[in-house]
């Protein structure tokens, strides 16, 4: 016989933090679940940025796992995580458009190093115009492993606060 628990709230046994709440429609909310959404847009505008990105605008940071001082998402618990990155690409430090047949490269890194199987964005622009790139992946992390985004070829265009053309987000899957 199946064992069924009927409950509205489940808390941890030690500190009584709510882990799961269940509403009358069976929808589950996990207030401590790890999830974040950040963007990069605090430069003075019209700038091209390269290297490990420090996303400064924090819009969602459940679990406080993202550190806006260094661009790192640091795993608070071991598990499998989803990450996504998107950007508006540029051809130089002034934020000009990429030229014809220019190449843009960016990648996710784990603990500051390349990781086998990590997804890299590789994009060749065929027309000198605005362009968007995006990538996503899932990865298994131990506690305190960190994930960053590194632009290695060409640049991302960073406008003033509010442009938010470049983002990094993720969440714990399980």
Partner 1 sequence: MASELHVDAIKHSGGTSAMTIDSSGRMTLPAQPRFLVTLSSNTTVPDGHDQDWSVSAASWTEKFDVGGCFGSGLFTSPVAGVYHITYRMYCNPSAGSYIGAGMNGTAITDTYGLTNLWHFQAGGNDTGFTHTALVDVAAGKTIQFGTYGNGSSTARTDGTFIYGYKIA
Q: Which is nearer to partner 1, 37 or 148 (CB)?
A: 37
Minimum distance, C-beta of residue 113 to partner 1, in the bound complex (Å): 25
Are the C-beta atoms of residues 72 and 170 closer than 8 Å to each other? no
The string of DSSP letters for 83-145 reads EEEEEEEESSTT-PPPPTTEEEEEEEEETTB--TT--EEEEEESSSS--EEEEEEEEEE-TT-
- Token digits for 67? 């550190």
Q: Which is nearer to partner 1, 60 or 78 (CB)?
A: 60
Minimum distance, C-beta of residue 58 to partner 1, in the bound complex (Å): 11
Which residues contribute to the site for partner 1 (CB under 8 A)? 2-8, 10, 13, 20, 22-31, 33, 35-37, 59-60, 62, 84, 86, 88, 125-132, 134, 136, 162-165, 167, 169, 171, 174
CA distance 134 to 86: 4
Q: Which is nearer to partner 1, 29 or 70 (CB)?
A: 29
């Amino acid at each position: 016989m199946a064992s069924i628990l009927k409950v509205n709230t489940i808390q941890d046994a030690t500190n009584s933090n709510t882990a799961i709440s269940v509403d009358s429609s069976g929808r589950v909310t996990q207030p401590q679940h790890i999830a974040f959404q950040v963007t990069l847009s605090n430069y003075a505008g019209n700038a091209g940025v390269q290297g490990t990105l420090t996303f400064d605008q924090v819009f969602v940071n459940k679990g406080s796992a993202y550190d806006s001082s260094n661009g790192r998402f640091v795993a608070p618990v071991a598990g499998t995580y989803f990450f996504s990155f998107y950007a508006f690409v540029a051809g130089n430090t002034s934020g000009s458009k990429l030229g014809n047949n220019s190449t843009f490269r960016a990648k996710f890194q784990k603990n500051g190093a390349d990781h086998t199987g990590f997804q890299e964005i590789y994009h060749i622009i065929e027309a000198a115009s605005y362009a968007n790139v995006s990538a996503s992946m899932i990865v298994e992390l131990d506690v305190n492993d960190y994930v960053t985004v590194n632009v290695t070829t060409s640049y991302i265009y960073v406008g003033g606060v509010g442009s938010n053309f470049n983002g990094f987000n993720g969440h714990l899957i399980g």
